[in-house]
Amino acid sequence: MSGHCVFLDLRIELDNAITYGTKAAAAKIARKALEKAQAASAGAEEEYFRGQIEMLRGNHSAAIKHFDAAIKLNPADGAAFNDRALCMIELGIIDKAFPYFDKGIEVEPDYANVYHNKGWLLNNIGRHREAIACFKKALELEPERPVTYDNLADALYNLQDYGGALKAYKKVLELLKPGICRQIRKQIGIKIKQIEKKLNSALNP
Q: What angle do CA 110, 68, 87 make, to 5 degrees?
A: 75
Q: Supply the angle between the helices 182-203 and 162-175 in degrees, to the nearest 10.
A: 150
Share of the chain above pLDDT 90, in %: 83
- pLDDT of res. 177: 80
Q: What is the mean pLDDT of residues 24-43?
A: 95
Structural contact between residues 139 and 152, judged by C-beta atoms closer than 8 angstroms: yes
- pLDDT of res. 5: 63
Which among 119, 185, 103, 184 has a CA at the least distance from the CA of 158?
119
Distance between CA atoms of 202 and 205, rounded to whole angstroms?
Answer: 6
Q: What are phi and psi of 71, to 5 degrees?
A: -65, -40
Distance between CA atoms of 166 and 157, rounded to whole angstroms?
Answer: 8
pLDDT of 112 strictly over 90: yes
- pLDDT of res. 201: 82
- pLDDT of res. 108: 96
Q: What angle do CA 166, 171, 177 make, to 5 degrees?
A: 140
Amino acid at 142: E
Q: What is the mean pLDDT of residues 93-114?
A: 97
- pLDDT of res. 19: 86
* DSSP state for residue 111 in the 8-state scheme: -
- pLDDT of res. 2: 33
pLDDT (tens digit per residue) in 34-85: 999 999 999 999 999 999 999 999 999 999 999 999 999 999 999 999 999 9
Structural domains of the chain, with CATH: 1-97 (1.25.40.10), 110-205 (1.25.40.10)
Q: What is the mean pLDDT of residues 116-144?
A: 97
Structural contact between residues 55 and 83, judged by C-beta atoms closer than 8 angstroms: yes
